[in-house]
Structure 1
Amino acid sequence: MISQLIFGILFVAAVVLFYKNASKIYRNIRLGKALDRSDRPGERLKTMLLVAFGQQKMFKRPIPALLHLFVYVGFCIINIEMLEIVIDGLFGTHRVLSVLGGFYNFLIYAFEILAFLVLAGCVVFMIRRNVLKVKRLNQSELNNWPKTDANLILTAEILLMAAFLFMNAADYKLQTLGAEHYHVAGAFPISSFLVPILPDSVSSLILIERFCWWFHIIGVLAFLNYLPISKHLHIILAFPNTYFSNLKPKGEFENMPAVTAEVQVMLDPSLPPPTGEPSRFGVKDVQDLTWKNLLDAYTCTECGRCTSACPANMTGKLLSPRKIMMDTRDRVEEVGKNIDANGSFTDDGKGLLDTYVTREEIWACTSCNACVEQCPVNINPLEIIIGLRQYAVMEESQAPSSINNMFSNLENNGAPWKYSQADRANWTNQ
């Protein structure tokens, strides 16, 4: 009864803590401006099934995609076993679902194969990051915590899968020894290879089995509460993020409603002038972004596919689309903590532009949409970059000289070039 009580307290505390932290993230995402993404539900569902469930865009790079698929499918399916662990933990039973008979044996067999694939995939990912040092996984924005975060998650998954397999191996040996409470149940294609290295003492085997059982369940509950402060939150958010994807063609920009309203009044004086508080043009801080932009930031996997495809980054410029998303997430987290401390947001003299993202970064972007195309979970860094540019130009009148020259030519010549309209066709006389 004591172990059941301890398990119940840990389980409830973990769920409550996760709910509390998840609620803060939901609150932070809602700081963004309203955006309607309720149209075309059938197409949205298809996008989510293909991109999030089916890992469609991951397979542009087949080898890491296959390894990721092993980890993704394996970790998700193995945690179905959590149902049995929770029941056993609360009611003091052991392998309660073994009443399913042959189907239960099939499940445990499959879980073991998947656990081995997860373990192998995580080991290869560790090697790619820390030994082979794949470039996109070792760039400057990943220094310190982001790199540690990735290694912590991989280490945790390796330990959890190892504990699962050793738990099964000890259980299997106890079954063969006819130990009390360990009735014959399950099939163990992987953990059976671990049996020879385990002791023959029943008491030692029970200690190993119970330790691995507790380590596995506590590890999963700890992992659950680590997600809100980790890039691995994409395990959950990838699904809503892909569902609410922008379904319009890439490169199609929307006019700002405030500007549209002003222009309509200029063209048709009979229309009433815009009312209410004048809105800010562009993006200075995270509150000027839409909720979808903030959801993008929290969903970012930090995989670097966007940055590795960015032509500006390839040529040595400061821009990294991955860093834009990481900076956005860091800033919205900072704003959320400000709200927690003060009850409502109190101006801290900071902003997304300049404090986190530099002018050099936003003007290095070629707006080619390569980052948007490459992202495996349909994140759009370009929307944030364009918003920051709009603020710099429309609110501050600050733009590089080349951009200002283009504006002057548009105003004077009706085109980006310095030639007058009368001279524009002169090339035909050559």
Structure 2
Amino acid sequence: MTPPVISQLIFAVLFVAALALAIFNARKIIQNIRLGRSEQRADQTGKRLQTMLLVAFGQKKMFKRPFAALLHLFVYLGFCIINLEMLEIVIDGLFGTHRAFSGLGGFYSFLIGAFEWLALSVLVGCVIFLTRRNITRVRRFFGIEMTPWPRTDANLILTAEILLMAAFLTMNAADHKLQLLGAPHYTQAGAFPISSWLLSALPDSIPSLIGIERFSWWFHIIGVLIFLNYLPYSKHLHILLAFPNTYFSNLHPKGRFTNMDSVTNEVKAMLDPSYTLETTAAPLRFGAKDIQDLTWKNLLEAYTCTECGRCTSVCPANITGKLLSPRKIMMDTRDRMVEVGDNIRKNKEDKDDGKSLLDNYITREEIWACTTCNACVEACPVNINPLEIIVELRRYAVMEESQAPIPLNAMFGNVENNGAPWKYAQADRANWVDD
């Protein structure tokens, strides 16, 4: 067996193994999301597609902070577009070719040149982002929920992207020099506007250049495969989930709250004796105590959270020193969902572990600090809605446990007795006119 065949075999094994692991992890994520209750989000297809294109692909909401948005756009588009070259790399790895698409001629040169400029933009963007996180220390990147792991996760991804782009440019530089030296198997193909800057730093020996080019090639492809399987354990899963999450966005006005069908039916029956109750299955509980009481969309949002902190940075409760952090709400929901999912897969059933989202992860103080102003919803760059989770947890506390802060209990009593939040009887409401 010749060395090229061995190389192809090694590549095929690594590639298939990486894909298999990625599919396995994707199935776990889907299973976890399906733990949530059903919810209808398939209407208004045109409007949903428009929202996805503007918010996820066009990153419309990111540009409320133009500098960070522009850098993020360079990094996002650069990394995604450059990885289109993965198709050529896979073909070369499986079949032993070199630059399989070089037959495209001038268009191929345009593509490689564009990839190199994008790689440079990714490098610059990631370096600036690392500086903002670790030297400038932007305030919203910190908080009680930002334990060492989330901060390390962000730094790992940024460092990995820098290394992958450096390997890509080094590979191109060595390839370009090998083409100039007339090395066999390295046919003239591609344009190298950025990597050509590195030519003087490379040796003139063909064997050495081949070693550098091959090392960079393997480093790049293995790095991308590792990155693919690291995503399920990282906040950077939003690279993939931002698209379905924005597509299934809540299209209603932000101030509109959902009604419980069971409660609505009871009220309609009391107001109209002729009303026939809809035959819907009674809910296991009112509101949400654990992640199974939330909807699949809430759980999808928990996985999609970028941990950027924009929601928390505009939250009036958090700004005034309250315990609430909308980012923590989403991170806690995700952590609890993963714990429940792993527990079900381990025990082959939904076995009670004595924990719940409310109290064990999210405290009562947090949910009652929320002003329901929707600032967090408006700020999120991928249309995540922490408020829906907070409201459902509140509903459980009030309707299932009859537990609410004292001022709210007083208000509930006034509504029940006086038909209004105030302590005055209905007959006395217009007395202010006499003054």
TM class, shorter-chain normalised? over 0.9
% of aligned pairs identical?
74
Give SS of 1:37's match. Answer: coil
When the two structures are superposed, what TM-score results if normalisation uses the length of structure 2? Answer: 0.97
**Alignment match, 2:7:** 3
Q: Is contact 2:377-2:383 (8 Å) kept?
A: yes
Give SS of 1:425's match. Answer: helix
**Alignment match, 2:119:** 115
Q: Give 2:74's match in structure 1, choosing from 64, 70, 74.
A: 70
Q: Give 1:412's match in structure 2, choosing from 402, 405, 417.
A: 417
Letter in 2 for 1:104: Y
**Alignment match, 1:211:** 215
**Alignment match, 2:377:** 372
What CA deviation, in whole Å up to 9, does each residue of 1:167-222 have, x standing for no partner?
Answer: 01111111111111111111111111111111111111111100000000000000
- 2: CA distance between counterparts of 1:427 and 1:162? 74
Q: Is contact 2:265-2:277 (8 Å) kept?
A: no
- 1: CA distance between counterparts of 2:65 and 2:140? 13
Pairwise CA RMSD of aligned residues?
Answer: 1.2
* Residue 419 of structure 1, CA deviation: 2.0
Q: Is contact 1:261-1:274 (8 Å) kept?
A: no
* Residue 264 of structure 1, CA deviation: 2.9
**Alignment match, 2:403:** 398
What does residue range 328-407 of structure 1 map to in structure 2 within 5 Å?
328-407=333-412
What does residue range 23-422 of structure 1 map to in structure 2 within 5 Å?
23-269=27-273, 271=276, 276-422=281-427
- 2: CA distance between counterparts of 1:119 and 1:279? 51
* Residue 44 of structure 1, CA deviation: 0.5
Give SS of 2:97's match. Answer: coil
Q: Is contact 1:137-1:304 (8 Å) kept?
A: yes
Q: 1:40 to 1:227 in 2, by over 3 A?
A: same
Give the number of aligned pairs.
430
Letter in 2 for 1:261: N
Q: Is contact 2:167-2:219 (8 Å) kept?
A: yes
* Residue 116 of structure 1, CA deviation: 0.4
- 2: CA distance between counterparts of 1:368 and 1:425? 30
Q: 1:300 to 1:275 in 2, by over 3 A?
A: closer
Give SS of 1:121's match. Answer: helix
Give SS of 1:245's match. Answer: coil
Report which stretch shifted further, 408-417 or 223-232. 408-417
* Residue 261 of structure 1, CA deviation: 2.3
* Residue 144 of structure 1, CA deviation: 1.3
Letter in 2 for 1:335: V
Q: Which runs of 4+ in 1 moved over 6 A?
A: none
Q: 1:408 to 1:111 in 2, by over 3 A?
A: same
Q: Is contact 2:123-2:165 (8 Å) kept?
A: yes
**Alignment match, 1:428:** 433
- 2: CA distance between counterparts of 1:204 and 1:69? 36
* Residue 272 of structure 1, CA deviation: 5.2
- 1: CA distance between counterparts of 2:424 and 2:239? 54
- 1: CA distance between counterparts of 2:232 and 2:283? 35
When the two structures are superposed, what TM-score results if normalisation uses the length of structure 1? Answer: 0.98
* Residue 142 of structure 1, CA deviation: 1.1
* Residue 139 of structure 1, CA deviation: 1.8
Give SS of 2:355's match. Answer: coil
Structure 2, gaps ≥5 residues long: none
